[in-house]
Structure 1
């Protein structure tokens, strides 16, 4: 046994394996390179930010945008390395459309035109294809590292934290008489007539102008009323302190004046957990999905060299 271990050929093999492993440690395979972004691309990011906010990004905001763009490039490269673009119908149709626009290979069958587009590397410079591949890659990452599901403890904690935000708004059931701007001078007389005769809305409706959204609104929140009458109406209406079975106003809106009959008022109240459980569940699932995706992307970054972060 000892004689066998002394054989030169065995020493040669062991030494070769050791040298191979040392080479891999000392001279590792270079990581795929992503970046840096071109000056033109960075200027585009700045312009997009300015268009959305009407101000230039700070250094920190610009750095975050650049990091996000490099992540997109990395996900695109990863998708290409898995050849995901070769199995996606959106990419297939997009490349055919590009070939048609360029008027290349029009006499060829679809498959031949598609393969020609790949040979021309049209998929590398198409923003629609890039967005699609990034989306597909994100889905693949989430499939391999699925997010956790919200627990009951998380739902209850979110409910407690967002209690004021989740509070149910007041609800109003109202009818109104509408007086357009050119009839504003008639409002006081109409109010006097309604008061003197103790009229209900049905009897008084003849005094007002037509109002396209209608005359009766049932169990409406302030936000819903604002969609019909505008925010100014809701502000003036609520400041008047509406009470059930009473007239309120005249109340001014962006359209004119309104004399409002309040049929019922449901005060605002705290929501119950069961009322908002679907909303909390949906929001938590979205948060956990984002966290899982960011963790997967962070892990993927270890296999790339990102320049310009």
Structure 2
């Protein structure tokens, strides 16, 4: 038998299945519209197996995988996914007879489908669900202008850049007795290197230098030496050289970033809603199967 090459379609087609419009092509499939009203209100019942001891999260996963498998069957995803192809061919080679070692990959793949290996293999099931989730994530609509404005005002703290200060610091030698620290002003005889410049918000400086030093810097006037201040690194004198006031970018400056942020926050909820709708439209019904049993509970 001739070993046919794998199917790698170069065509484009539009397919509607269970209310999902898909464009299929060489780079995969893309959801372009969802129209549940186009689907029959009384779909055929499709059963899917769920282990009897599954918890709620596992039950949902089995159902989601069943949704993906139905769509994959209708859209021939098994034929165009290289990982699925390899997996099913390997599975079939494991069970084939010794006298059939010369059977080609195409024949083995078709046999695997005929035996329903693609329905039970956990790798194939996860792969098809992942493919469907990617399609549904791409379907999340762009937020409207009013939604962007409302989001910015409702989450102002996430977009505001806190006040930042640039400062220089001199280190003073720490005597054993802290009462011996010179508290008058920094002097050249402090035996310090040239002032070191640093920059950051109060929270950033607190993480880097400690609370006392950060508090002192933000209480210090520009151009004034303040100290002495203790930190984990020693005794400091600090001078604020620049103050950058708190700022909030306009919607126009951050529109694209904010829109993507909104879509990212919506994706999980959107995908969950779409999977639930698809399961309903496809008429999926669970059949609980006990461990080691074929009878539904």
Which TM-score applies when normalising by structure 2?
A: 0.58
- Give 1 or 2 for the bigger CA radius of gyration: 1
Alignment partners' CA distance in 2, 1:190 and 1:89: 75
1:81-116 Cα distance to aligned partner (Å, 9 max, x none): 2331221123345567889999x99x8798369738
Counterpart among 214, 238, 242 of residue 238 in structure 1: 214
Distance across 1 between alignment mates of 2:93 and 2:204: 48
What's the CA shift for 1:281? 0.8
Stretches (4+) displaced over 6 A? 96-102, 107-110
TM-fit CA distance, 1:149: 2.0
Task: Give 1 or 2: higher strand fraction.
Answer: 2
Q: How does 1:110-189 map to 2 (within 5 A)?
A: 111=105, 115=109, 118=112, 123-124=118-119, 126-141=121-136, 146-176=139-169, 185=175
Q: Secondary structure at the match of 1:279?
A: helix
Quick one: distance in 1 between partners of 2:188 and 2:198?
Answer: 21
SS in 2 for 1:268: coil
* Counterpart residue number, 1:257: 234
Contact 1:79–1:85 (CA under 8 A) maintained in structure 2: no
1:18 corresponding residue in structure 2: none
Q: 1:72 is matched with which residue: 29, 39, 64?
A: 64
CA contact (8 A) 1:172 1:266 kept: yes
* Contact 2:229 2:236 survives alignment (8 Å): yes
Q: 2-side partners of 1:235 and 1:109: how far apart?
A: 73
1:304 CA drift (Å) = 2.7
Query: Shift of residue 282 of structure 1?
Result: 0.8
Q: Report the TM-score, using the length of structure 1 for normalisation.
A: 0.56
Unaligned regions of 5+ residues in structure 2, if any? 1-41, 289-297
Match of residue 192, structure 1, among 162, 182, 201 = 182
Distance 1:133 1:236, change over 3 A: farther
